[in-house]
Amino acid sequence: MAQNIPADLKYTKDHEWTKVEGDTVIIGITDFAQSALGDIVFVELPEIGKTLNAHQTFGVVESIKSVSDLYSPISGTVVEVNSGLQDTPELCNAEPYGSAWMIKVKLSNTSEMSALLSANDYQNFLSTL
């Protein structure tokens, strides 16, 4: 199955994507994740100001099929939350790399970014599933 995997992002094996903008990292779920989940009906995100550690749960995505935890790829403090997903969670299905970003985190440990997968590495990982 062909996947939409933008080359300018970094990925996790938990199917989150990251985009660095200065000292802030934008985090969302991948096209693979939204496709596997099916129609997303609810998104729960953290409060602004919450401190996250890498691999810590930061929220929940609920679809008609299942409920899945969201894991922070990096450590830092939540500086912005996409509150629009409360009213339109289906954006996660329609635009996983666009308007359906989930949180923005002020990065506290830049070395954690090197542990994330490139688009090519993520594609290779998906091929093993």
Please tell me the CATH code under which domain 10-110 is placed.
2.40.50.100
Asked whether the CA dihedral 33, 46, 86, 10 is positive or negative, the reply is negative
Rounded CA-CA distance 106/25 in Å is: 6
The pair phi, psi for residue 49, each rounded to 5°, is: 100, -10
Q: Quote the distance between the C-alpha of residue 64 and its chain's center.
A: 19
Q: How long a stretch of residues is the chain?
A: 129
The tens digit of pLDDT for each residue in 31-58 reads 999 999 999 999 999 999 999 999 999 9
In angstroms, the Cα distances linking 21 to 25, 37, 67, 115 are 6, 28, 29, 18
The tens digit of pLDDT for each residue in 87-113 reads 999 999 999 999 999 999 999 999 999
pTM of the model: 0.96
